[in-house]
Amino acid sequence: MANLNDILILLPELYLVVAACLLLLLDAFMKPEQRPLLHWLSIAVLLVGVYLVVEGQPSQAVTAFNGMFVRDGVAEVLKVFALLSTVLVFVYAKPYLMDRKLFIGEFYTLTIFAVIGIMLLVSAGSLITVYLGLEQLTLSSYALVALNRDSRLSSEAAIKYFVLGALASGMLLYGMSMVYGATGTLDLAHLHMAATQTSMPNLLVFGLIFMIVGIAFKLGAAPFHMWIPDVYQGAPTAVTIFIGSAPKLAAFGMAYRLLANGLGDLAHHWQLMLACLAVLSLAIGNVVALVQTNLKRLLAYSTISHMGYLLLGLVNAGPEGYASALFYAISYALMSAAAFGVILALARAGFECEEIDDLKGLNQRSPWAAFLMMLVMFSLAGVPPMFGFFAKLLVFQAAIHAGFLWLALVGAVFAIIGLYYYLRVVKVMYFDKPVEGTEIHLQGDVSVRLVLSLNVLALLVLGLTWGPLFGWCQSVFVG
């Protein structure tokens, strides 16, 4: 039976549910020319959500509904950046959606419902809450990918995403059932204690393997990455930017809750599994990205490689590793939003700016756009002093301290390989001649250009002043 305390603990999530339903009703009675109001209301809803998360955060971890929902420092950090990433998505998406007759209320309401799923997932205190949050996120994402019903590519991408996502969800659920069978509990705190006392350790490890499959799919780690390139390319870019940013924070939260909170005492089993996934992700992501000509597919394989780096932090299985992995997830969400934000800002009706060759001579046509894209590519590549460099450095350090020096060396080698395809984009923009008869420059109003510029410049500023943010990440694990 819920009480007032439970309601107050879930206040940000309940507020977003009510707000999303009201936006849905408002959209039903709104004329097309009034829809920009829905855009700004949706952004305001998310910003109020950020305020509720931060302002109502208790000094100590608290639980609701008999431990099924946890509100602690880790959840706070992930929720704040998931909400802010989605604000960036809304700002960047508006001109794109208007140009392609996709400026509809469903985009905003489905995205907010997906964010609610992220918030439930990162606050999960039970295997049931993990699954509920994950399904809320993925079901909304499937619909978003199919938003452009007139595009065969989007429909195909949505079907692939749905089929593979259903398969991964089934494996995760099967793993959870094995874990429940071995321990007799669904509560992650009790599971942590029961894991060492079970009389069926083999069944527990068997369940752990299937749970890691589910985590790897959500992260987009190889060999469970097959959905990422097709979904990134097929989905409208306004949807791709969301899938490539905020859900990666949810995937980290899911991994942390299941592995650290639930099965931390089995770290000696799952550390090596994550290390193998990291090597495969780094190898496949970086090597296949070398031959891509489509910018969205290149960034898709880049995502796979970046999830390999995030796994380097999780392999540490301690506060240092979790803090570095959280820091990496935040940095990647901001970098991914900036990368797709530049693509969205350069695209217009009839010109998607999805091919690398579309950027030829960009510096001559739009120097500021070329400069912004160059900073994003440098940050993704891990070039100092960009934000991405220090994120990579911290996960390497965490892996070395955990005794995985060989894994850090593998990561460093593939980081050098990855430099090639990021620098190829820079080379095309600055040294290739522009294609005759094409115009390419930043689209959108002043708000889009301003927010995009601030997002990209933040990658440089955070690279120079990353200490406070990493300190916040550390404090939620050791505080």
Average pLDDT over residues 133-153: 92
- Average pLDDT score, the chain: 91
Which tokens is 474 given?
Answer: 């550390």
Q: For position 298, what pLDDT does the model report?
A: 94
**pLDDT by residue (tens digit) across 250-262?**
999 999 999 988 8
pLDDT band at 437 (very low <50, low <70, confident <90, very high): low
- Do 242 and 373 touch, CB atoms closer than 8 A? no
**CA–CA distances in Å: residue 393 to residues 76, 173, 386, 411, 467:** 24, 35, 11, 10, 13
Whether residue 38 is predicted with pLDDT greater than 80 in this model: the reply is yes
Q: For position 263, what pLDDT does the model report?
A: 85
- Do 175 and 211 touch, CB atoms closer than 8 A? yes
d(CA 381, CA 422): 6
Q: For position 304, what pLDDT does the model report?
A: 95
Average pLDDT over residues 437-443: 70
Q: How far apart are the first and last CA of the chain?
A: 31
Which has more confidence, 278 or 31? 278
pLDDT band at 352 (very low <50, low <70, confident <90, very high): confident
Beta bridge partner(s), residue 351: 348
**pLDDT by residue (tens digit) across 79-138?**
999 999 999 999 999 989 988 888 888 999 999 999 999 999 999 999 999 999 999 999
Q: For position 438, what pLDDT does the model report?
A: 66
d(CA 137, CA 161): 13
pLDDT band at 462 (very low <50, low <70, confident <90, very high): very high
Angle, nearest 10°, between helix axes 73-99 and 105-122?
160
Whether residue 199 is predicted with pLDDT greater than 80 in this model: the reply is no
**pLDDT by residue (tens digit) across 353-370?**
888 988 888 888 889 999
**Cα torsion 6, 7, 12, 14: sign:** positive
Q: For position 192, what pLDDT does the model report?
A: 82
**CA–CA distances in Å: residue 321 to residues 107, 404, 477:** 36, 12, 10
Q: For position 440, what pLDDT does the model report?
A: 74
Q: Which residues are within 8 A (CB) of 202 and not within 5 positions of it... i.e. 6 or more apart?
A: none
- Do 259 and 314 touch, CB atoms closer than 8 A? yes
d(CA 316, CA 271): 7
Q: For position 1, what pLDDT does the model report?
A: 58
In the chain, pLDDT over 70 holds for what percent of residues?
Answer: 98
Q: Which of 166, 93, 141, 34 is nearest to 343 (CA)?
A: 93
Average pLDDT over residues 190-206: 83
In the chain, pLDDT over 90 holds for what percent of residues?
Answer: 72
**Count of CB atoms within 10 A of residue 183's CB?**
25
**pLDDT by residue (tens digit) across 229-238?**
999 999 999 9
**Count of CB atoms within 10 A of residue 211's CB?**
26
Q: Which of 89, 145, 80 is nearest to 119 (CA)?
A: 80
pLDDT band at 327 (very low <50, low <70, confident <90, very high): very high
Main-chain phi, psi angles of 282, to 5 degrees: -65, -40
Main-chain phi, psi angles of 71, to 5 degrees: -120, 105
Whether residue 57 is predicted with pLDDT greater than 70 in this model: the reply is yes
Which tokens is 124 given?
Answer: 């999960």
